[in-house]
Amino acid sequence: MNELNRRSAPGAGPAAPIRTVHLGLGAFFRAHQAWYTHVANSGGDAEPAGIAAFTGRRPDAALPLQAQDGLYHLLVRDAGGDRTELIASISAAYDGADAEAWRRTLADPLVGTLTLTVTEAGYRRGPDGGPDLDNPAVASDVERLRAGHTDVTTAPGRILSALAARQAADAGPLAIVPCDNLVDNGPTLARVLNGLAAAVDDGLAQWLAGQVSFVSTTIDRITPATTPEDREVVAKLSGFADAAPVVTEPFSEWVLAGDFPAGRPAWERGGARFVPDVSVFEQRKVWLLNGAHSLLAYAGPTRGHATVAEAINDPVCRGWVETWWNEAVRHLPLPPDDTTRYREDLLERFTNPRIRHNLAQIAMDGSQKLPIRVLPVLTRERADGRLPEGGVHALAGWLAHLRDGTAVRDPRGEELTNAVSGPVPEAARRMLRALDAPLADDHDLVEAVAATCRGLVP
Ligand code: CS2
């Protein structure tokens, strides 16, 4: 079996000069943004754009890529079979704790874009949408940045540290492209970073306002965790002992809105669309795909399911999802044939038997995900006088998940699991209060969530 590197795989070509930096070197980034950049580079005529990718929370994620000169395979699985694609766009992979490399790379005038996958929780937003300055990690980063230190730990702190280096190097403008499932992710990140910069240094805040463009994006590609068996399939298909392959589906979507003052890779070659406003694409994706994912992640295990495909093939779970979709599409400004087609595609993607997408992976960080995926539809339905059964099932499933407590992985996990002990109706009220305070005063909703939870776990 061949080792994978740029000598053993000459088709990959030499590492391209770095034009893009990425924070959050995980599987999703490698199935999505790195793939689009790879396709952009395969166009022949364009100047190839390499990526310097830094790990977010797991330093070891960079090691196998360093050993493989940044190369890895995508294992693209559809119902009909598997194929591999060699991805060559990552020119350098770094442990994110390497503050020197991080600052140096972003201070390079040839770098024009910074893409991010730092998870919903990684943006460290406070209740007012600005930076969560009461959070000890954020507060400590502010102190350290003020004192000129570079060893900061939060994603906004690290970005700001690198922007200060870019300002000092007079390296010119930059586009920052957040690729996490947040509402208005460009302006959302802008508020956090502007707030943090104002708390650290006025000069930096002014530079940021003039030099940094925040691009909003909707991103989509289902990317389950890679297993040892997947690595064997890649070895068999490609002939390489790839230590870092990524499994994904054939489908992929990227919609972007915003300016790129220092240029960007030709992502449209991979099908990326540049539009004036992403909100309708974002709502469609986050409510229909991610909302259904979260519903299945919490309610599915109560019926013994471990993966999306298992759950969606259960007519009871499928019924909850269809109900949720009926509720969500009422609030999407899209023609019915668009949402009908989108739902059909989603069913095909969810039932893909070759994608083993664990519900436990999706269940992480519910306190950050539900306000974006489920509450916007739920509150609109309540305002219209309806009690939406699909949305209620998502919340009731979350309540069951929190009360069970064994699989909770959430930045507010301790607070939430404490809040949901005791009798179910009180637990439902406390859970809703923690999620969005006014919901706890909606008695019909509290009762419906409690009754549905009892139905799920009698
Ligand atoms: C999933 C998403 O883990 C989750 O919460 O809902 O990662 C989902 O697979 C992606 O957004 C698909 O684009």
- Distance from residue 26's CA to the centre of ligand 1 (Å): 13
| CATH code of the domain covering residue 257 | 3.40.50.720
- Say yes or no: CB of residue 41 within 6 Å of ligand 1: no
- Distance from residue 365's CA to the centre of ligand 1 (Å): 12
Tell me the average pLDDT of the chain: 97
Q: What is the pLDDT of residue 57?
A: 80
Question: Are 188 and 40 in a shared domain?
Answer: yes
Tell me: pLDDT of 46 over 80: no
The domain in which residue 383 lies consists of 279-456
- Say yes or no: CB of residue 220 within 6 Å of ligand 1: yes
Question: Are 246 and 102 in a shared domain?
Answer: yes
Give the contacts of 80 (CB within 8 A, at least 6 positions apart).
none
- Say yes or no: CB of residue 290 within 6 Å of ligand 1: yes
Q: What is the pLDDT of residue 58?
A: 83
Give the Cα-Cα-Cα angle 252, 247, 270 (nearest 5 degrees).
30
What does the alpha-carbon distance between residue 319 and residue 388 come to, in Å, rounded to a whole number?
13
What beta strand segments (E) does 39-80 contain?
Answer: 50-54, 72-78
Name the band, by pLDDT with cuts 50, 70 and 90, for residue 59.
Answer: confident
Question: Are 122 and 225 in a shared domain?
Answer: yes
- Say yes or no: CB of residue 373 within 6 Å of ligand 1: no
* Global pTM value: 0.96
The tens digit of pLDDT for each residue in 293-332 reads 999 999 999 999 999 999 999 999 999 999 999 999 999 9
Which of 225, 244, 274 is the endpoint of a domain?
A: 274
Give the contacts of 458 (CB within 8 A, at least 6 positions apart).
none
C-beta of residue 76 within 8 angstroms of C-beta of residue 250: yes
Q: What is the pLDDT of residue 274?
A: 98
C-beta of residue 259 within 8 angstroms of C-beta of residue 356: no
Question: Are 430 and 358 in a shared domain?
Answer: yes
Question: Are 262 and 286 in a shared domain?
Answer: no
Q: What is the pLDDT of residue 90?
A: 98
Ligand 1 nearest atom to the CA of residue 362, by list position: 3
Question: Are 212 and 354 in a shared domain?
Answer: no
**Total domain count for the chain?**
2
Tell me: pLDDT of 156 over 80: yes
What does the alpha-carbon distance between residue 362 and residue 336 come to, in Å, rounded to a whole number?
28
**For 113-128, what is the mean pLDDT?**
95
> How many residues in total does the chain contain?
458
The tens digit of pLDDT for each residue in 393-411 reads 999 999 999 999 999 999 9
- Distance from residue 362's CA to the centre of ligand 1 (Å): 7
Pocket residue to mutate for ligand 1, from 345, 362, 369, 370, most atoms within 8 A of Cβ: 362
Question: Are 399 and 264 in a shared domain?
Answer: no
What does the alpha-carbon distance between residue 145 and residue 133 come to, in Å, rounded to a whole number?
13
**For 438-455, what is the mean pLDDT?**
98
Tell me: pLDDT of 28 over 90: yes
Which of 274, 291, 313 is the endpoint of a domain?
A: 274
The tens digit of pLDDT for each residue in 220-254 reads 999 999 999 999 999 999 999 999 999 999 999 99
Question: Are 194 and 79 in a shared domain?
Answer: yes
List the strands of the sheet with 273-274, edge to edge. Answer: 216-220, 253-257, 273-274
Pick the residue whose CA is nearest to atom 13 on ligand 1.
220
Question: Are 221 and 335 in a shared domain?
Answer: no
Question: Are 291 and 266 in a shared domain?
Answer: no
Question: Are 289 and 213 in a shared domain?
Answer: no
- Say yes or no: CB of residue 181 within 6 Å of ligand 1: yes
| CATH code of the domain covering residue 356 | 1.10.1040.10
Which of 274, 309, 328 is the endpoint of a domain?
A: 274
Name the band, by pLDDT with cuts 50, 70 and 90, for residue 1.
Answer: confident
- Distance from residue 118's CA to the centre of ligand 1 (Å): 13
- List the beta bridge partners of residue 75: 84, 247
The candidate with the shortest Cα–Cα distance to 253, out of 226, 238, 235, 275, is 275
Task: Give the residue carrying structure tokens 């995980």.
Answer: 26
The tens digit of pLDDT for each residue in 203-227 reads 999 999 999 999 999 999 999 999 9
Question: Are 171 and 55 in a shared domain?
Answer: yes
Pocket residue to mutate for ligand 1, from 180, 222, 251, most atoms within 8 A of Cβ: 222
**For 276-288, what is the mean pLDDT?**
98
Percentage of the chain beyond pLDDT 70 is 100
Ligand 1 nearest atom to the CA of residue 220, by list position: 13
CA distances from 154 to 27, 188, 371 (A): 20, 16, 22
Pick the residue whose CA is nearest to atom 3 on ligand 1.
362
The tens digit of pLDDT for each residue in 74-120 reads 999 998 899 999 999 999 999 999 999 999 999 999 999 999 999 99
- Distance from residue 407's CA to the centre of ligand 1 (Å): 18
- Say yes or no: CB of residue 310 within 6 Å of ligand 1: no
More confident residue, 292 or 43: 292
